[in-house]
């Protein structure tokens, strides 16, 4: 199951893709990581999906990543007494703590933290931004707003606050219960929704206790303002373009996507581009030309992964959607322009031994036209540093930890093999060559470069480079 592209594909599971046969077909079509959306998944169903994915993983002998996406706070209006109302431009509309059903002049807002945090001039976006209110007066338990962009409004529509820093956690009680259930089940990545600050990620990590890696979803303006701090404490980023495009001007989203992709690469952390990538394939067997260009742009930028949401979870053509992404990735990476762009964006190495070794390994491999870079890694850090370089040659990560292998399934270009740790350096060289030959990365007589940490098995101690021939005896150069 060697992939012929470097960018990874995340596929969301749902009603259209929950049984073993479909999950197997999605993996064969190109899915590297499966996403379980806890907004629509009960704990028992989540456990069933994880078990099914692990069975598929076992039958193919390749690590498969599982990402559980927490719902996060859902801020919604109360109800209206006589059904939907029309909010007209320029009208006054009150949000208050009175639990009675609303009308065209007021409605209950069952979130006292919003009423307490709102400031005069703050915007409120209702129903995914279709209606826009501007706060003109606050009084603790009520806020008087002016309708800037009117429209029809009905029960329980969502509320977004692009200008308001809410003094609340990114996790609800439901999220904490979902998080514990997911970690007990043995998933690999947790996507944290509606992150506003680094402390949100720190709180999640405290609850996870090392059982999974944390991917911060960037979908709020407050997160953009604190992006570096959030990236510093996260294990990965997700560019969640759907909500980001609601709370910020749409025209800013493409540039923010590029900024986040490059920031994450500089930090040596995976970045996933998500939302509406092949949206039309929910109901069509082929995407629009604009969607193909959108996916291709993420590939050209050097993102680690691209994600399908409803396309694979609830659409009519989940396999076709994954196959389409797979073909786009392969075609873009064959383009000479792709290599030019990815090379031009290569960040300078950090002043660490691991980065210096990874940069040297990439340069040696390309100068000597070696067949592959082989990383022996226990924690995954060696493979992450090499992937940060976006080398021309394939990257093979050999790890004794299945958990590390599963996490690396979301990382650009890394083909992961789970194998017993090397006994010594000779064993390391011989087995690296054997695995490279077996998996089709090198032919007999070709050379590979091996990157590892010595003493072997020491996490984060990347400090050794070695060139080796691949052959019957794997003779060291």
Q: Collapsing DSSP states into helix, strand and coil, what is residue 395?
A: strand
Marked catalytic residue, from 25, 45, 47, 76:
76
Residue 412 CB: number of other CB atoms within 10 A? 23
* Rounded CA separation 464/458 (Å): 12
Q: Compute φ and ψ for 239, nearest 5 degrees.
A: -85, 95
Catalytic residue, chosen from 35, 265, 385, 390, is 35
CATH annotation of 8-72+170-335:
3.20.20.60
Q: Where are the domains of the chain?
A: 8-72+170-335, 85-160, 353-469
Phi and psi at residue 53, to the nearest 5°: -65, -40
CATH number, span 85-160: 2.40.33.10
| Phi-psi label, residue 156: left if phi above 0, alpha if psi -120 to 50, beta otherwise | left
What is the phi/psi pair of residue 21, to 5°? -65, -45
From CA 93, how far away is CA 409, in angstroms rounded? 49
Q: Are 436 and 425 in contact (CB under 8 A)?
A: no
Bridge partners (DSSP) of residue 149 are 132
370 vs 436: CA distance, rounded Å: 12
CA distance 267 to 264: 5
Q: Any catalytic annotation for residue 3?
A: no
What does the pLDDT read at residue 473?
55
Spatial neighbors of 250 by CB under 8 A, at least 6 apart, are none
Catalytic residue among 217, 220, 265, 388: 217
Tell me which DSSP letter residue 432 carries.
H
Helix (H) or strand (E) holding 135: strand 131-138
Cβ contact 300:337 at 8 Å: yes
CB 229 within 8 A of CB 198: yes
Structure tokens at 397: 């990560």
Q: Is 105 an annotated catalytic residue? A: no
Rounded alpha-carbon distances, angstroms, from residue 57 to 54, 219, 244, 406: 5, 31, 34, 10
Output the pLDDT for position 472: 64
Q: What is the rounded CA–CA span in Å between residue 152 and residue 243? A: 20
**How far is the C-alpha of 124 from the C-alpha of 134, rounded, in Å?**
6
Tokens of 467: 């060139």
Per-residue pLDDT of the chain (477 residues; tens, 9 = 90+): 789 999 999 999 999 999 999 999 999 999 999 999 999 999 999 999 999 999 999 999 999 999 999 999 999 999 999 999 999 999 999 999 999 999 999 999 999 999 999 999 999 999 999 999 999 999 989 999 999 999 999 999 999 999 999 999 999 999 999 999 999 999 999 999 999 999 999 999 999 999 999 999 999 999 999 999 999 999 999 999 999 999 999 999 999 999 999 999 999 999 999 999 999 999 999 999 999 999 999 999 999 999 999 999 999 999 999 999 999 999 999 999 999 999 999 998 888 888 999 999 999 999 999 999 999 999 999 999 999 999 999 999 999 999 999 999 999 999 999 999 888 889 999 999 999 999 999 999 999 999 998 777 677 678 889 999 997 654 444
Catalytic annotation, pick one of 275, 377, 399, 404: 275
State whether residue 87 is helix, strand or coil: strand
Its pTM stands at 0.94
**Kind and range of the H or E run holding 331:** helix 318-334
Strand partners, 466: 450
User: How many CA atoms are closer than 13 Å to the CA of 312, on its beta-carbon side?
Assistant: 34
Task: Determine whether 82 is exposed, middle or buried from the number of CB atoms within 10 Å of its CB (0-12, 13-18, 19+).
Answer: exposed
Helix axes 173-185, 43-60, angle to 10 degrees: 30
Taking a C-beta distance cutoff of 8 angstroms, is the pair 159, 75 a contact?
yes
Q: For residue 122, what pLDDT is reported?
A: 97
Say how far apart CA 8 and CA 412 lie, in whole Å. 6
Which value, in Å, is the radius of gyration of the alpha carbons in the chain?
Answer: 24
Who contacts 448 (Cβ-Cβ below 8 Å, separation ≥6)? 370, 371, 372, 373, 374, 432, 433, 436, 441, 442, 467, 468, 470
According to the model, what pLDDT value does residue 475 have? Answer: 43
State how far the Cα of 305 lies from the Cα of 19, in Å rounded to an integer.
Answer: 24
Residue 477 has a pLDDT of: 40
**17-26 contacts: CB < 8 A, separation 24 or more?**
17/312, 17/313, 17/318, 18/45, 18/49, 18/52, 19/52, 20/52, 20/55, 20/56, 22/318, 22/319, 23/49, 23/52, 23/53, 23/56, 24/56, 24/59, 25/319, 26/312, 26/318, 26/319, 26/322
Q: What is the DSSP letter of 241?
A: H
Closest residue by Cα to residue 422 from 384, 375, 380, 357: 375
Q: How far is Cα 14 from Cα 143, in angstroms, rounded to an integer?
A: 39
390 included as an active-site residue: no
Q: Tokens for 189?
A: 């990545």
> CATH topology for 353-469?
Pyruvate Kinase; Chain: A, domain 1 (3.40.1380)
Q: What are phi and psi of 454, to 5 degrees?
A: -120, 130
**392 assigned to active site:** no
């Amino acid at each position: 199951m060697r992939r012929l592209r470097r960018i990874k594909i995340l596929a969301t599971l749902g009603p259209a893709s929950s049984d073993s046969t479909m999950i197997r077909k999605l993996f064969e079509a190109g899915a590297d990581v499966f996403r379980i959306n806890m907004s629509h998944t009960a704990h028992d169903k989540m456990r069933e999906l994880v078990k099914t994915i692990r069975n598929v993983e076992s039958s193919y002998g390749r690590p498969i990543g599982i990402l559980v996406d927490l719902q996060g706070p859902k801020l919604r209006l109360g109800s209206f007494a006589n059904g939907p109302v029309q909010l007209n431009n320029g009208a006054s509309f009150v949000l208050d703590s009175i639990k009675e059903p609303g009308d065209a002049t007021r409605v209950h807002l069952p979130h006292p933290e919003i009423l307490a945090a709102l400031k005069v001039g703050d915007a409120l976006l209702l129903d995914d931004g279709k209606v826009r209110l501007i706060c003109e007066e606050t009084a603790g338990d009520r806020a008087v707003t002016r309708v800037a962009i009117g429209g029809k409004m009905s029960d329980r529509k969502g509320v977004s606050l692009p200008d308001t820093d809410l003094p609340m956690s990114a996790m609800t009680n439901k999220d904490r219960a979902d998080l514990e259930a997911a970690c007990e089940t043995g998933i690999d990545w947790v996507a944290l929704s509606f992150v506003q600050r680094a402390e949100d990620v720190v709180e999640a990590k405290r609850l996870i206790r090392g059982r999974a890696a944390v991917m911060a979803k960037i979908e709020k303006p407050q997160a953009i303002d604190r992006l570096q701090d959030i990236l510093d404490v996260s294990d990965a980023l997700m560019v969640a373009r759907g909500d980001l495009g609601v709370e910020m001007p749409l025209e800013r989203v493409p540039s923010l996507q590029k900024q986040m992709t490059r920031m994450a690469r500089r930090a040596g952390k995976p970045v996933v581009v998500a939302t509406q990538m092949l949206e039309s394939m929910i109901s069509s067997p082929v995407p629009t030309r604009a969607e193909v260009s959108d996916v291709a742009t993420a590939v050209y930028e050097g993102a680690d992964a691209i994600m399908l949401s409803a396309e694979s979870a609830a659409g009519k053509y989940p396999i076709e959607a994954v196959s389409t992404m797979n073909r786009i990735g392969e075609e873009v990476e064959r383009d000479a322009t792709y290599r030019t762009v990815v090379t031009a964006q290569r960040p300078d190495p950090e002043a660490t031994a691991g980065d210096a070794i990874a940069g040297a390994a990439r340069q040696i491999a390309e100068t000597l036209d070696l067949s592959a870079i082989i990383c022996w890694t226990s924690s995954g850090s060696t493979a992450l540093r090499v992937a940060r370089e976006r080398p021309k040659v394939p990257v093979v990560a050999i790890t004794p930890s299945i958990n590390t292998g599963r996490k690396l399934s979301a990382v650009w270009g890394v083909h992961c093999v789970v194998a017993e740790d090397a006994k010594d350096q000779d064993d390391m060289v011989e087995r690296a060559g054997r695995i490279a030959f077996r998996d089709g990365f090198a032919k007999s007589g070709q050379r590979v470069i091996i990157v590892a940490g010595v003493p072997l098995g020491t996490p984060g101690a990347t400090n050794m480079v070695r060139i080796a021939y691949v052959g019957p005896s794997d003779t060291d150069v």
